[in-house]
Structure 1
Amino acid sequence: MSDQLDPSQLTRPVDGAGRARGTAGYAESADALAAQYEEVTFGQVHRNVMRLVPAEPGRILDVGAGSGRDAAALAARGHSVVAVEPTAELRVHGQRLHPDSGIVWVDDALPALTLSRHPGPFDAVFATAVWMHLDAAERGRAMARIAALLMPGGRFFVSLRHGPVPGGRHMFDVSAAETTELGDAYGLHTVHRSERTDLHNRGSVLWSCLVLQARDTGSALT
């Protein structure tokens, strides 16, 4: 499949209030969510894939950055981090909680993810608890966009939430198998796939952890 997007696709699906549909329920709960996100560490959330996180400083894109927890941890490792967060209330928390991290905050969203001032390529892209907010058509466009943003050998870190949908959220049941197949269609092959339990002790919630890598592993990623 081509990774070129038709200009008509470069729009952000929005609700009646002009917000990205996938952010439904987040603005109203931003205070509680920011506190919840910061209760766990980057290392805990991504423990299954830590060995695949770029070891050398590079450019990293964190899509749906929330409170900035992951973006700040990546910046502390020496990376140049662009944090995309479409919910203004969460961006405010991120900037407050991590004021000296050097993170560049951007109001943008998948599937378009225009990044007009911060174009790729990136050594890695993170989408933590984001992908299941996109419907099937949006996921196809989003994967094409991610593939276009990654440098050769770059890695896409994606986590999928499985379980009951919280009230007021725009969320879909997205399988790991579908995600790996979609990635392969756009030249991203799976280098890691695992499952983990929920870190907030929600017994009905499970997570899939995936890492998809762009072709040409001759990059400096280790």
Structure 2
Amino acid sequence: MDDRVSGGRVPASTAGYAEAAEELAVQYEGVTFEEVHREVLHLFPDRPGAVLDVGAGSGRDAAALAARGHRVVAAEPTAELRAVGTRIHAGRGIEWVDDALPGLPGLEARRFGLILLTAVWMHLDEGERAASMARLAGLLEGGGRVVLSLRHGPVPAGRRMFAVTAQETVDLARTCGLDLLHRAEREDPHGRPGVSWTYLGFAGP
């Protein structure tokens, strides 16, 4: 998968998002940050720090974290979603970047205390997931955390998703030096039939 900033092509993982950006933004913003992340809110740092929101979408999560005083980088490779996000969350102090996993090359010299991936991981194939986990581990500050969610259920038309289990993700994280802090299962916050989620929190060394 080529990152846009390095390869000039849209990542395959973002298939179907550009065309529906406005509609998706309404969907994302229709549920609060607190509701979406209720299972892992206790893992987010109280003290303001550097946060990376990977696959930031409309910026709902980035805006909520910025409001808590964090310095937030929102990495979103879909130009249409970035445009919506910068419009509806203007003035929030979010740094928007055109970047994507597995490489995130535009963030080479950066380090973060929290990396958040909401509904991102299942868009990556097996090889991309392995490379991405190693990259995330390398972007963490000492003692930093990675929090991600895995979607389970039917794949929407036009999207690219893979069946990814929590155990596979935990094992992969462990090989990259990340230890499991928390695991939770929940229903879909948007109420979509057949869709459920696993939330995982990891701590770096």
TM-score range, shorter chain: over 0.9
**Alignment partner of 1:212: what SS?**
strand
Are 1:194 and 2:164 an aligned pair? no
Structure 1: state its 5+ residue gaps. 1-8, 216-222
Letter aligned with residue 155 of structure 1: R
Tell me which of 167, 170, 175 is aligned to 2:165.
175
- RMSD over aligned Cα, in angstroms? 1.4
Please give the TM-score of this superposition, normalised by the length of structure 1. 0.88
Q: Paired residue for 1:58?
A: 49
**Alignment partner of 1:34: what SS?**
helix
Q: Percent same amino acid among aligned pairs?
A: 56
Separation in 2 of the partners of 1:143 and 1:109?
13
Runs of 4+ in structure 1 over 2 Å off: none
Tell me which of 196, 211, 214 is aligned to 2:204.
214
Q: Paired residue for 2:109?
A: 119
**Alignment partner of 1:48: what SS?**
coil
Structure 2: state its 5+ residue gaps. none
Tell me the CA shift for residue 199 of structure 1: 1.1
Deviations 1:114-138 (A, max 9, x none): 124x732100000000000000000
Separation in 1 of the partners of 2:132 and 2:63?
24
Deviations 1:165-210 (A, max 9, x none): 1111111011111001000000000000010100111120000000
Separation in 2 of the partners of 1:126 and 1:196?
18
Letter aligned with residue 73 of structure 2: V
- Report how many residues are paired: 202
Separation in 1 of the partners of 2:3 and 2:191?
33
Separation in 2 of the partners of 1:83 and 1:119?
16
Please give the TM-score of this superposition, normalised by the length of structure 2. 0.95
Q: How does 1:159-174 map to 2 (within 5 A)?
A: 159-174=149-164
Separation in 1 of the partners of 2:152 and 2:57?
19
